[in-house]
Amino acid sequence: MYLFRAPNSTYYTRICLPKSLRDNGFPFDLKISLLTKRRDEAVERNFILVPQLRKLIDNAFQEYNPSTFRDNVDVLVNQVRDSFTLRDTVRLPVRQVRTASSLQSQTVTMIASPATKTKTIITVKKAFAKFIISKQHAKVRPLTIEQLKQRTEHFLSNLTSRCVSQVTSADAIRFRDRLYQEGRSYKTNKDYLASCRQFFKWCKQMKYVTDNPFQDITVQEQAKKKSQDEERERWSITDLVKLYRSSAFQSKPDEFKWITTIMLYQGLRPREACQLRVADICNKEGIDCFLISEDGQDQHIKTASSLRYVPIHPILIEKGFLDYVANRKAARCIQLFNYKPDGKWQDWSKRYCQQFGRLQAAIGMPANARPTAYSFRHTFIDELKQKGIEESLVAQIVGHTHQSMTFGRYGKKYPMQKLATVIRSVTFLELESSREMI
């Protein structure tokens, strides 16, 4: 994302879209005129426009198809432009391929449409079927679609309204109250409402409804018996030593041990580690790194923030990880490990997690009373937290969206050298002194 000045001296904002979106028919980038030839004014308008565009791009991974995305961008840009005080410019096109006159015509239409509030008459059942098809066309992951179906159908199954336009906020409130009575967790109830909200947001975009009945419906968070930190169990050093020094772990193939160690020392999600390709071990700014992306066949990342480079921890290099990579490359392997997408949801980490659970049981770690494979990531993050590492640094390393608007939207990425220094600070001396680590 950057600010640039066109040959006619007008300033533009340009944002490149992630490759995963471009591969699914989304535009390569967004070039948007800021309607000014003054740099100070352009910078101010850029600060207003970019956060809202970024939110659209983040939502595009699950909520939009390319056509809807372009329409939403146009609507957003025109709304933001209405707040601009025009001085020495006239309205310019949202995209360079459009003319000013066509944009003005579209703007007039969009301004007039809220007054008429026309909507298409369609049944709830038919609208929901179209919604699911839209998600499938947008290449949303099957697991995400199944969750949307299950949660939204829980609401739709008790509806008395046949037409989707007849659903009201009162229906949404009754559903929220029913969720309370059914005894699910706060997070689960929140997910149920979010799925319904997403469906009716799509209905509004399709002009099936004039308002989203779930727009302002929220769930009340109950007092927790455990803090968030306690809920996210991490590995104790005692359990780590027990795991690594066990004969059950040592008898596992190298790939199993490398995946375990990568999650512990790099903070990768299980799926991110299991789906790594040989080509994902690369050099960035002179530092050996993992590339976490979805460029490979069947690779997936959780969000746009998950796309990242992660410097390789020195302990992995010391224990021979780059030699392992070289051997896979010499054997002309595409994948770094032999795990494949498995199960109904094509989960790269399913088989690894099953193997890991059986290993834990074998060494006396009973189910429901032990840390999980995902807990390696929690352990890595907690180690950085205890060392007082800045949250924005941790977020870039582990692929979280940073909550701060200043850091998240306008701050540049940290250089690899700085990330490498942070990663080196994670140590488990009791493990590293052991010859049996890998």
Tens digit of each residue's pLDDT (9 = 90 or more) over 350-382: 999 999 999 999 999 998 889 999 999 999 999
pLDDT band for position 46 (50/70/90)?
Answer: confident
Q: Are 26 and 60 in contact (CB under 8 A)?
A: yes
Torsion angle (degrees, nearest 10) of CA 340, 342, 347, 353: -90
Q: Are 164 and 208 in contact (CB under 8 A)?
A: yes
Phi, psi of 408 (to 5 degrees): -70, -35
Tens digit of each residue's pLDDT (9 = 90 or more) over 10-26: 989 999 888 877 877 88
CA distance 378 to 400: 13
Domain ranges of the chain: 2-116, 124-205, 230-432
From residue 305, alpha-carbon distances to 302, 399, 412, 418 in Å are: 8, 5, 13, 18
pLDDT band for position 275 (50/70/90)?
Answer: very high
Give the pLDDT score at 120: 66
CA distance 135 to 140: 6
Q: Is the pLDDT of residue 112 over 60?
A: no
Comparing 157 with 410, which gets the higher pLDDT?
Answer: 157
CA distance 20 to 14: 18
pLDDT band for position 105 (50/70/90)?
Answer: very low
CA distance 248 to 355: 11
Give the pLDDT score at 345: 76
Give the pLDDT score at 346: 84
Tens digit of each residue's pLDDT (9 = 90 or more) over 319-360: 999 999 999 999 999 999 999 998 877 899 999 999 999 999
Instruction: Enumerate residues 6+ apart whose C-beta is below 8 A from 183.
Output: none
Token reading at 205: 């975009």
pLDDT band for position 229 (50/70/90)?
Answer: very low
CA distance 281 to 286: 13
From the list 205, 114, 121, 215, the residue with the least C-alpha distance to 168 is 215
Give the pLDDT score at 114: 43
Average pLDDT on 231-239 reads 84
CA distance 111 to 109: 5
What is the maximum span of the chain, computed from C-alpha positions, in angstroms?
Answer: 75
The CATH number corresponding to 230-432 among 3.40.50.1470, 3.40.50.920, 1.10.10.60, 1.10.443.10 equals 1.10.443.10
Instruction: Give the 3-state secondary structure of residue 29.
Output: strand
Q: Are 159 and 171 in contact (CB under 8 A)?
A: yes
- 263 Ramachandran zone, left/alpha/beta (phi>0; psi -120 to 50): alpha
CA distance 19 to 415: 21
Q: What amino acid is encoded at 45 in this protein?
A: R
Q: Is the pLDDT of residue 29 over 70?
A: yes
Contacts 24+ apart (CB under 8 A), 130-133: 130/206, 131/199, 131/202, 131/203
Q: Is the pLDDT of residue 98 over 60?
A: no
Tens digit of each residue's pLDDT (9 = 90 or more) over 185-205: 898 999 999 999 999 999 999
DSSP 337-375: SS---BTTTTBTTHHHHHHHHHHHHHTT--TTSS--TTH
Give the pLDDT score at 383: 97
Q: Is the pLDDT of residue 406 over 60?
A: no
Average pLDDT on 309-327 reads 97
Q: Is the pLDDT of residue 106 over 80?
A: no
Q: What percent of the chain has pLDDT over 90?
A: 55
Helical pair 169-182 and 186-205, crossing angle rounded to 10 deg? 160
Q: Is the pLDDT of residue 102 over 80?
A: no
Tens digit of each residue's pLDDT (9 = 90 or more) over 419-430: 999 999 999 998
Give residue for tokens 């976490």: 292
What does the radius of gyration of the chain's CA atoms come to, in whole angstroms?
Answer: 25
Question: What order do you get walking across the sheet with 287-292 strand by strand?
Answer: 281-284, 287-292, 308-311
Tally of CB atoms within 10 A around 235: 21
Mean pLDDT over each residue of the chain, to the nearest integer: 85
Least confident of 28-32, 111-115, 120-124: 111-115
Tens digit of each residue's pLDDT (9 = 90 or more) over 80-91: 887 776 544 444
Alpha helices in 1-141 (DSSP H): 19-22, 39-60, 66-81, 100-116, 124-137
Q: Is the pLDDT of residue 52 over 70?
A: yes
Least confident of 46-55, 59-68, 154-163, 363-372: 59-68
From the list 238, 239, 147, the residue with the least C-alpha distance to 199 is 147
Q: Is the pLDDT of residue 119 over 70?
A: no
Average pLDDT on 98-122 reads 46
pLDDT band for position 405 (50/70/90)?
Answer: very low
Give the pLDDT score at 410: 56
Tens digit of each residue's pLDDT (9 = 90 or more) over 123-156: 899 999 999 999 999 888 888 899 999 999 999 9
pLDDT band for position 42 (50/70/90)?
Answer: confident
From residue 385, alpha-carbon distances to 233, 379, 392, 426 in Å are: 14, 10, 11, 11
Q: Is the pLDDT of residue 213 over 90?
A: yes
Token reading at 209: 């409804």
pLDDT band for position 222 (50/70/90)?
Answer: low
pLDDT band for position 409 (50/70/90)?
Answer: low
